[in-house]
Structure formats: C-alpha cells, structure tokens
Chains A and B, each alone.
Chain A
C-alpha cells in the first residue's frame, strides 16, 4: 500500500494555462501541503501519463488528479470519462477545476462522476483554502479501508 512518505501527495495537474499551473504550485506552497506535483498540458498527455505510455513509462500513479476542463486536444470531460471507465484508474480521486458555476452545471449534466468540483476563485485566500481542503480530502480518502 502506498503511503504519503516524505515526498507527500502525488498530484497530477492537467492544466494548459501556465498562470494557473504556477498559481496551483504557489497555493500548495502557501497551504504548506507536502506534495509532489506533476503537470501535463493536455488531455492526451494526461492519459499517457496515467497509463504509463511513452515518456511516462516510469512515472508513479498519482494520488489525486486536478483536472481543468478546457484543454487542448482532448478536453477535461473526455479525460474524466476515460478515467472513470478504466477499472485501474477509476479509484483515483478527480477534482475538476471549472471557471464558472455554469460550466459545472453543464458538466454534471453529462453525469460523469468526478469526486468534486471546484470553481476556480478569484480570491487567492479562497484558493489556498481549497488546496488545503483538497489535502484534507485526500487524507480522508486514504484513511478509508482498502478494498
């Protein structure tokens, strides 16, 4: 069984906007979340990472996926659908980052089961709190009895 260990939570961030990537990194730092952050920029890369294909042959399985919706090549909705239909990947908690409530509603209408939705806030403190709560959320997940 995986443990947090010294490297912290392994997070895969699927995000193409460098501003958001950096912001997530900074928020993790501000929230003092012990983490190891992997970043891919589009949906195709995300699936390759998760399935250890090509250059990602040796990458570890993430403990948590932070998934943006608007991605090049393969959008977040498709990525989520593939993850949730993959018997190996579907247990990884997925947090979907949306730009608006409206976007969240639309996504929910597709009936894909993300573990939670987070509307990206303008307020940095709010964002840091969210990142902090993602850590708490993840700790709760690992405390659940293993299958």
Chain B
C-alpha cells in the first residue's frame, strides 16, 4: 500500500498531523472514487451539510446535491475522471450543495485528482459562500437603489426646471410688454418696479437654465472616446474670442496630451474654467496658461490665471451648486460654473481642486484619464 492509499484508511486518518489539518480546515473536504462513492469527509462537511460522517461514507456523492443537479452529475463526474486536473468546478456557474434538511447552500468547489494504486480518486474542496453572496447581493441592491434615486433626482431637476420656465416667461414677457407700451406714461416708480420684475424673472430664467444644464450632465451622456485636448482648447478659445479681446487677455498653453472622455463635456469644462479666469481678473490684463502633466494613466491639467484669487477657506465651497463669493453687481453669474466642472470631472473619474493666492492668481487643477478604464 502506498502512502496515499493508506490515508484513506479511516483508522490512519484518525491520527496525526493529516487528521488535524483536515479536520481544522475551514472548507468541507471530500474524497470520491471513480464510481462516485464518497470515501472520506472532514468535520466541516458534517457541519455544513448536517450529516454524520457515517451517513456519507460509501454513499454516492450525488447525495450532497440538490435534486435538479443529480441527473447529469454522473456524466460530468466521469468526464472529469477521464481527464482530471486541478480546477474550479463549473466556473461561471452557480453551484449549490444540499443540506440534510433539504435547503440549499451556495458553494464554490475546487477539484483535484489523486492518483493511488487502487485507482484514481478526486478531492473536492467545498466552500460555503452564503455570506459572501448575501453581501454581494446587498451591495448590488444598494447600487441599484442609489442609481435609481440618482436618476429620479436628475429627472426631477429636469422636469422642474423645464416646467418652471413657462409661467416665468409669462411674468417676464408681460412685464416687458407693459414697459414697452406704457413707459413714461406711468410714473417713475412704475418704470422702476417693472425693471425689478423683469430683472428678477431674467435671473430666475438663468438659474433654471443652469440647473437644466447641470442635470443634463447626468442624463444625457455622450460617447466616451479618445479626445484631442488641443482641439478642445482651440474650440473653447474660439467660443471665448469676444471675452478674450474685450479683456485684452493673453491665453497660452502647452502641447496637451490626448485623453478619454465626452467631447462636449470637456469643452464645457475648459470653457467654464477659462471664462472664470477672464471674469475674475485683477488690475492688470488677464494672463491665462493651460498646462498638462501625465502621471500614470491620468493627466493633471492646470488652468492658471493672474486674477483676484480665492481665499483658502472657500476652496471647497466654490464647487457647490449656486455658491457665489461676490455680489451680483461686482461679478454677475448664478454660481453654477464650477459645480458643472466638478460634476464633469467626477463623471470622468477624476478630481478637481484649486490652489490660490489672494490678489496674485488662481490655479485650477483637474485630472482626466488617458485610458478608457478611467
């Protein structure tokens, strides 16, 4: 008798290191012969399946399977015996063992052949994955819930902002019609009141439009593809030509690397940052520089200006929706530009942050992926 076949003698197994190892294993371990008859089980097998050892030894291994898997198991077993090698069983399939009391246990099984003098045997290591599966299902459910609530929120913002425009348009249009027809026929106060109505309605319209733009970043995704960032920047600079000329601004840039992303969103991202740099300029004409540095599978972009700067305590707050640091007379705007930038960068799996010295200038940094893995 060889060593291996001796192992299978229950009396030998009852002693020594091998027994301890086998019995303390966290997985159920069984050994089956070529007829499919169970030759050995460990303690964990008893615990997992609720059988006493004596109820399993000598029985067909199919006893451990749910009824519906028993039919073709013998065939599968034989084909494994004809070409045995160490591998997981039924990779990609969901496997189940059946407890003595009938309930099923999700399991993972790995098989290895054992060659002995008395023939070929197979060891099956069976791991109970109930907890792991429950955790995975809970996580999936959570992800689905989150996805749904996000979609609902975006849908809500979209519908609200869309439907709110109708009545607003009535208010603004008729106030303007009043002004057009009856200006100077009413008194000065009346003219001023009309101005306030029109101004308020126009501002609200801008807010709603911005909200709509913001919510659409989530709901209307373009195609993610390889993007020539230099071309994106050229387009942005041409969009902003008027503001650049008006401010006598100089915009320079490095040669920029390609990245993966949604082209329209990237145009919006660069455009918002550069138009901010144009808007928040100091005494001297704006000088803006766009640079990029590759690091691993991402690019760190920077948009630096010589403008008024941002106090450090506001470095986080500026990325929130409708947050503004200046009065409407000083610098107009709804305070959505950077919130849109953050949402776009988030959606691309990157990060955005700011470094600034008050009175000296501001540099916005953001990362974008150079691979589709993002």
Hey, which bits of chain A sit against chain B, CB under 8 A? 17, 19-20, 23, 26, 30, 99-103, 105, 120-125, 127
Contacts and interface: CB of A to CB of B under 8 A. Distances in A.
A123 B253 CA distance: 38
Contact of A100 (B165, B174, B201): B165
Given A102-B216, A122-B201, A122-B202, A23 B166 contact: no
Contact of B173 (A101, A105, A127): A127
Contacts of A105: 220
Contact of B165 (A20, A99, A124, A125): A99
Contacts of B166: 17, 99
Interface of B: 158, 161-162, 165-166, 168-170, 172-174, 176-177, 180, 201-202, 205, 209, 212, 216, 220
Contacts of B202: 122-123
Contact of B174 (A23, A99, A125): A23
Contacts of A103: 162
Contacts of B161: 100
Q: Is the interface of A mostly helix, strand, loop or mixed?
A: helix
A23 B173 contact: yes
Contacts of A125: 176
22 contacts: A17-B166, A23-B173, A23-B174, A23-B177, A30-B180, A99-B162, A100-B161, A100-B165, A102-B158, A102-B162, A102-B216, A103-B162, A105-B220, A122-B165, A122-B169, A122-B173, A123-B172, A123-B176, A123-B202, A124-B172, A124-B176, A125-B176
Contacts of A124: 172-173, 176-177, 180
Nearest to A23: B173
A85 B174 CA distance: 37
A125 B175 CA distance: 12
Central interface residue in B162, B173, B180, B212, by most chain A CB within 10 Å: B173
A20 B172 CA distance: 12
A103 B176 CA distance: 25
B172 A19 contact: no
A30 B173 CA distance: 13
Given A122-B168, A124-B180, A102 B173 contact: no
A26 B205 CA distance: 22
B354 to A, nearest CB: 29
A20 B161 CA distance: 19
Interface centre among B158, B166, B220, by most chain A C-beta atoms within 10 angstroms, is B166
Contacts of B173: 19, 23, 122-124, 127
